[in-house]
Amino acid sequence: MGKTKAIGILDLGLGNLASVARAVEAVGFTARVSGDPAELEDLAGLIVPGVGAFAAAAGRLRAAGGAALVERFLARGRPVMGICLGLQLMCSWGEEGGGSPGLGLVEAQVRRLPAGLPVPHVGWNRVYWSERMRLLAGLEPGAWFYFSHAYYVDGLRPVQVAGRPAAVGVARYGVPLVAALESPPLYGVQFHPEKSGPVGLKVLAAFGECCLQ
Protein backbone atom coordinates (compact mmCIF):
# COMPACT_ATOMS: atom_id res chain seq x y z
CA MET A 1 0.00 0.00 0.00
CA GLY A 2 1.42 3.43 -0.99
CA LYS A 3 1.81 6.41 1.25
CA THR A 4 -1.09 8.74 1.89
CA LYS A 5 -1.38 11.62 -0.56
CA ALA A 6 -2.08 14.04 2.28
CA ILE A 7 0.39 16.89 2.79
CA GLY A 8 0.32 18.97 5.94
CA ILE A 9 0.44 22.77 5.86
CA LEU A 10 1.59 24.19 9.17
CA ASP A 11 -0.54 27.14 10.24
CA LEU A 12 1.55 29.76 12.05
CA GLY A 13 -1.12 32.40 11.60
CA LEU A 14 1.04 34.01 8.90
CA GLY A 15 0.19 34.21 5.23
CA ASN A 16 -2.57 33.06 2.92
CA LEU A 17 -2.70 29.35 3.67
CA ALA A 18 -5.86 28.85 1.63
CA SER A 19 -4.05 29.60 -1.64
CA VAL A 20 -1.27 27.15 -0.78
CA ALA A 21 -3.85 24.48 0.08
CA ARG A 22 -5.75 25.04 -3.17
CA ALA A 23 -2.55 24.73 -5.18
CA VAL A 24 -1.58 21.49 -3.40
CA GLU A 25 -5.01 20.04 -4.15
CA ALA A 26 -4.84 21.26 -7.75
CA VAL A 27 -1.89 18.91 -8.34
CA GLY A 28 -3.70 15.89 -6.94
CA PHE A 29 -2.84 15.85 -3.24
CA THR A 30 -4.94 16.37 -0.14
CA ALA A 31 -4.00 19.44 1.89
CA ARG A 32 -4.48 19.43 5.65
CA VAL A 33 -4.03 22.85 7.26
CA SER A 34 -3.50 22.95 11.00
CA GLY A 35 -1.54 24.68 13.71
CA ASP A 36 -1.69 21.54 15.85
CA PRO A 37 1.35 19.30 15.21
CA ALA A 38 -0.61 16.24 16.34
CA GLU A 39 -2.96 16.66 13.36
CA LEU A 40 -0.06 16.68 10.90
CA GLU A 41 2.24 14.12 12.48
CA ASP A 42 1.48 11.11 10.30
CA LEU A 43 1.22 12.77 6.89
CA ALA A 44 3.51 12.12 3.94
CA GLY A 45 5.02 15.59 3.84
CA LEU A 46 4.92 19.01 5.46
CA ILE A 47 4.86 22.54 4.06
CA VAL A 48 5.86 25.51 6.23
CA PRO A 49 4.62 28.70 4.53
CA GLY A 50 4.65 32.21 5.90
CA VAL A 51 5.03 35.92 5.47
CA GLY A 52 6.02 38.51 8.05
CA ALA A 53 8.80 39.18 10.52
CA PHE A 54 11.53 36.56 10.99
CA ALA A 55 11.91 36.75 14.78
CA ALA A 56 8.18 36.69 15.52
CA ALA A 57 7.63 33.78 13.14
CA ALA A 58 10.54 31.81 14.61
CA GLY A 59 9.07 32.33 18.06
CA ARG A 60 5.66 31.12 16.94
CA LEU A 61 7.21 28.12 15.24
CA ARG A 62 8.93 27.05 18.45
CA ALA A 63 6.07 27.89 20.81
CA ALA A 64 3.50 25.97 18.76
CA GLY A 65 5.65 22.83 18.58
CA GLY A 66 6.20 23.39 14.88
CA ALA A 67 9.98 23.38 15.13
CA ALA A 68 9.95 19.99 16.83
CA LEU A 69 7.47 18.73 14.23
CA VAL A 70 9.81 19.77 11.41
CA GLU A 71 12.71 18.00 13.10
CA ARG A 72 10.67 14.81 13.57
CA PHE A 73 9.64 14.80 9.90
CA LEU A 74 13.23 15.18 8.76
CA ALA A 75 14.50 12.54 11.21
CA ARG A 76 12.02 10.07 9.70
CA GLY A 77 13.02 10.98 6.16
CA ARG A 78 9.72 12.69 5.42
CA PRO A 79 9.96 15.73 3.14
CA VAL A 80 9.56 19.25 4.49
CA MET A 81 9.32 22.34 2.27
CA GLY A 82 9.54 25.93 3.44
CA ILE A 83 7.89 28.60 1.29
CA CYS A 84 9.08 32.23 1.40
CA LEU A 85 9.50 33.04 5.11
CA GLY A 86 9.19 29.30 5.71
CA LEU A 87 12.47 28.77 3.84
CA GLN A 88 14.14 31.59 5.75
CA LEU A 89 13.11 30.11 9.10
CA MET A 90 15.10 26.97 8.30
CA CYS A 91 18.31 29.04 8.26
CA SER A 92 20.85 29.73 10.98
CA TRP A 93 20.25 33.42 11.47
CA GLY A 94 18.06 36.29 10.31
CA GLU A 95 19.25 39.88 10.68
CA GLU A 96 15.78 41.44 10.83
CA GLY A 97 15.05 43.42 13.99
CA GLY A 98 18.61 43.23 15.24
CA GLY A 99 19.01 39.55 14.52
CA SER A 100 17.62 36.29 15.84
CA PRO A 101 18.27 32.57 15.32
CA GLY A 102 16.27 30.40 12.99
CA LEU A 103 15.97 26.63 13.21
CA GLY A 104 19.59 26.17 12.12
CA LEU A 105 18.80 23.40 9.63
CA VAL A 106 20.28 25.36 6.73
CA GLU A 107 23.70 26.89 7.27
CA ALA A 108 22.96 30.29 5.73
CA GLN A 109 22.17 33.88 6.68
CA VAL A 110 18.94 35.77 5.99
CA ARG A 111 19.69 39.39 5.06
CA ARG A 112 17.75 42.49 4.04
CA LEU A 113 17.67 43.29 0.34
CA PRO A 114 20.18 46.03 -0.50
CA ALA A 115 19.39 49.73 -0.36
CA GLY A 116 18.63 51.48 -3.63
CA LEU A 117 16.12 48.89 -4.82
CA PRO A 118 12.35 48.89 -4.33
CA VAL A 119 11.80 46.85 -1.17
CA PRO A 120 9.91 44.62 -0.77
CA HIS A 121 10.73 42.83 -3.99
CA VAL A 122 7.28 42.10 -5.42
CA GLY A 123 6.89 40.58 -8.85
CA TRP A 124 8.28 38.06 -11.29
CA ASN A 125 11.90 37.02 -11.55
CA ARG A 126 13.90 34.35 -13.31
CA VAL A 127 15.44 31.43 -11.43
CA TYR A 128 18.57 29.61 -12.63
CA TRP A 129 20.21 26.40 -11.45
CA SER A 130 23.13 24.29 -12.60
CA GLU A 131 22.50 21.02 -10.77
CA ARG A 132 19.66 18.55 -11.10
CA MET A 133 16.91 19.54 -8.69
CA ARG A 134 13.80 17.49 -8.08
CA LEU A 135 11.66 20.55 -7.39
CA LEU A 136 12.62 22.14 -10.71
CA ALA A 137 12.76 18.99 -12.81
CA GLY A 138 11.41 19.49 -16.31
CA LEU A 139 11.60 23.28 -16.17
CA GLU A 140 13.96 25.31 -18.31
CA PRO A 141 16.55 27.30 -16.32
CA GLY A 142 15.42 30.89 -16.33
CA ALA A 143 11.80 30.02 -15.57
CA TRP A 144 9.78 32.90 -14.13
CA PHE A 145 8.42 32.75 -10.59
CA TYR A 146 6.52 35.20 -8.39
CA PHE A 147 8.32 36.74 -5.41
CA SER A 148 7.22 38.95 -2.51
CA HIS A 149 9.88 39.54 0.16
CA ALA A 150 12.16 42.11 1.81
CA TYR A 151 14.76 39.64 3.13
CA TYR A 152 16.61 36.87 1.35
CA VAL A 153 18.80 33.84 1.92
CA ASP A 154 22.32 34.96 1.01
CA GLY A 155 23.32 33.39 -2.30
CA LEU A 156 26.88 34.69 -2.31
CA ARG A 157 28.12 32.04 0.10
CA PRO A 158 27.84 28.23 -0.19
CA VAL A 159 24.69 26.93 1.45
CA GLN A 160 24.99 23.74 3.47
CA VAL A 161 22.62 21.37 5.23
CA ALA A 162 24.12 19.08 7.88
CA GLY A 163 27.59 20.01 6.65
CA ARG A 164 26.91 19.10 3.03
CA PRO A 165 26.42 21.47 0.09
CA ALA A 166 22.77 21.91 -0.84
CA ALA A 167 21.57 22.17 -4.42
CA VAL A 168 20.25 25.67 -5.04
CA GLY A 169 18.45 27.70 -7.64
CA VAL A 170 19.40 31.37 -7.70
CA ALA A 171 17.60 34.56 -8.65
CA ARG A 172 19.08 38.05 -8.77
CA TYR A 173 17.55 41.18 -7.33
CA GLY A 174 20.53 43.45 -6.89
CA VAL A 175 22.31 40.50 -5.26
CA PRO A 176 22.19 36.74 -5.85
CA LEU A 177 19.54 35.20 -3.62
CA VAL A 178 18.64 31.59 -2.95
CA ALA A 179 15.34 31.06 -4.75
CA ALA A 180 15.15 27.28 -4.33
CA LEU A 181 17.00 24.82 -2.14
CA GLU A 182 17.04 21.09 -1.71
CA SER A 183 18.92 18.67 0.45
CA PRO A 184 16.43 15.80 0.74
CA PRO A 185 14.32 15.48 2.75
CA LEU A 186 14.56 19.26 3.24
CA TYR A 187 13.36 21.58 0.47
CA GLY A 188 12.59 25.27 0.24
CA VAL A 189 11.64 28.05 -2.14
CA GLN A 190 11.77 31.83 -1.72
CA PHE A 191 9.18 32.39 -4.44
CA HIS A 192 5.49 31.62 -4.07
CA PRO A 193 4.71 28.53 -6.13
CA GLU A 194 1.00 28.94 -5.40
CA LYS A 195 1.11 32.32 -7.20
CA SER A 196 3.47 31.34 -10.00
CA GLY A 197 1.01 29.77 -12.42
CA PRO A 198 1.73 26.46 -14.20
CA VAL A 199 5.44 26.42 -13.32
CA GLY A 200 4.62 26.87 -9.64
CA LEU A 201 2.16 24.01 -9.76
CA LYS A 202 4.89 21.83 -11.27
CA VAL A 203 7.11 22.62 -8.28
CA LEU A 204 4.36 21.61 -5.86
CA ALA A 205 3.66 18.46 -7.86
CA ALA A 206 7.37 17.57 -7.73
CA PHE A 207 7.37 18.05 -3.96
CA GLY A 208 4.31 15.86 -3.70
CA GLU A 209 6.04 13.10 -5.63
CA CYS A 210 8.99 13.33 -3.23
CA CYS A 211 6.52 12.77 -0.40
CA LEU A 212 5.30 9.53 -1.95
CA GLN A 213 8.72 7.90 -2.22
pLDDT one-digit tens code per residue, 99-122: 999 999 999 999 999 999 999 999
Q: Is residue 71 in some structural domain?
A: yes
What is the rounded average pLDDT for all residues in the chain? 94
**At 114, phi and psi to the nearest 5?**
-65, 150
Q: Is residue 37 in some structural domain?
A: yes
**pLDDT tens digit sequence for 68-80:** 999 999 999 999 9
> Could you list the residue range(s) of the whole structural domain that residue 47 is in?
6-212
Average pLDDT over residues 177-192: 98
Domain count along the chain = 1
Average pLDDT over residues 119-146: 95
Share of the chain above pLDDT 90, in %: 84
Do the bridges between strand 160-161 and strand 151-153 make them parallel or antiparallel, or are there none, so unpaired? unpaired
pLDDT, residue 38, reads 95
More confident residue, 155 or 186: 186
64 touches 12 (CB < 8 A): yes
Average pLDDT over residues 176-183: 97
Q: Is residue 49 in some structural domain?
A: yes
**Closest by CA position to 44, among listed 28, 56, 58:** 28
The confidence band for 3, taking pLDDT boundaries of 50, 70 and 90, is: low
Average pLDDT over residues 114-141: 94
The residues annotated as belonging to the active site are 84, 192, 194
* pLDDT over 70 at 2, yes or no: no
The confidence band for 1, taking pLDDT boundaries of 50, 70 and 90, is: very low
Q: Is residue 39 in some structural domain?
A: yes
CATH for 164: 3.40.50.880
Q: Is residue 1 in some structural domain?
A: no
Element of type H or E holding 142: none
The confidence band for 21, taking pLDDT boundaries of 50, 70 and 90, is: very high
Q: Is residue 154 in some structural domain?
A: yes
Alpha helical stretches, state H, the chain: 17-26, 37-40, 54-63, 66-75, 85-89, 197-212
Q: Is residue 162 in some structural domain?
A: yes
Average pLDDT over residues 60-65: 88
